[in-house]
Amino acid sequence: SQQGEEDPQALSIQEGENATMNCSYKTSINNLQWYRQNSGRGLVHLILIRSNEREKHSGRLRVTLDTSKKSSSLLITASRAADTASYFCATNSNYQLIWGAGTKLIIKP
Amino acid sequence: EPEVTQTPSHQVTQMGQEVILRCVPISNHLYFYWYRQILGQKVEFLVSFYNNEISEKSEIFDDQFSVERPDGSNFTLKIRSTKLEDSAMYFCASSEGGQGRIYGYTFGSGTRLTVV
């Protein structure tokens, strides 16, 4: 797989449930970031986790990073309809972000 | 909340024409970037800019592309002679530290470029 591959590609859950998305990458990184994109709109930075960190929280978001497995996960707890969006992981090496193809999350009311 | 502002939100241009996409980064940010996203595809890095020069660019960023910071606030991407395959959403971003290592990157809402 390419750098920053998310799975699943699509996820549909009921409002109130937790959503977990995974990301794998290939090369060494300085940090890994998660972004949200509402349909056809801009990219919103959610959370950044550095290569020496293992877990980070921000509100209902929890991100983990396992550098030995070159993988990260994003957990959204108690999902809401407004969480419906595409979620991307992006890895940072040098000046550029390398992006995955994203997970399309649909929250059903 | 400080924002990165991009104009226009949508631009339609004839193939072969020059386009300039404009961005106003966050005022205290020092690093500036352009990314693009072809419809249905991954976001791709184009170029990063620091201290009035390009710090890194991708293979996509060929001689048809150029960036400029003409004054203290604007950051522009010029495509000299547009091709159909340049049709994409173009995102400008800025960051306080290099590699977005402090707080990540702040992205603008994008300019949707359609080349006809």
Q: Report which residue type is found at A46.
A: L
Q: Please give, rounded to a whole number of angstroms, the shortest distance from the CA of A1 to a CA of chain B.
A: 14
Q: Which residue of A has its CA nearest to B88?
A: A40
| Burial zone of A44 (CB within 10 Å; 0-12 exposed, 13-18 middle, 19+ buried) | middle
B101–A30 C-beta distance less than 8 A: yes
3-state secondary structure (DSSP) of residue A69? coil
- Tell me how many residue pairs between chain A and chain B have CB atoms under 8 A apart: 68
Q: Please give, rounded to a whole number of angstroms, the shortest distance from the CA of B66 to a CA of chain A.
A: 17
Q: Which residue of B has its CA nearest to A91?
A: B99
Q: Which residue of A has its CA nearest to B32?
A: A95
pLDDT reading at A8 higher than 90:
no
pLDDT reading at B31 higher than 70:
yes
Q: Which residues of B touch A104 (CB under 8 A)?
A: none
pLDDT, one tens digit per residue, over A66-78 is: 999 999 999 999 9
| Burial zone of A59 (CB within 10 Å; 0-12 exposed, 13-18 middle, 19+ buried) | exposed
Cis, bond preceding A109 (omega within 30 deg of 0): no
Q: Which residues of B touch A29 (CB under 8 A)?
A: none
Q: What is the mean pLDDT of residues A21-30?
A: 90
A44–B91 C-beta distance less than 8 A: no
pLDDT, one tens digit per residue, over A93-104 is: 777 888 988 999
pLDDT range class, residue A35, cuts 50, 70, 90? very high
pLDDT reading at B91 higher than 50:
yes
B106–A33 C-beta distance less than 8 A: no
HSE (side-chain half, CA atoms, 13 Å) at B56: 16
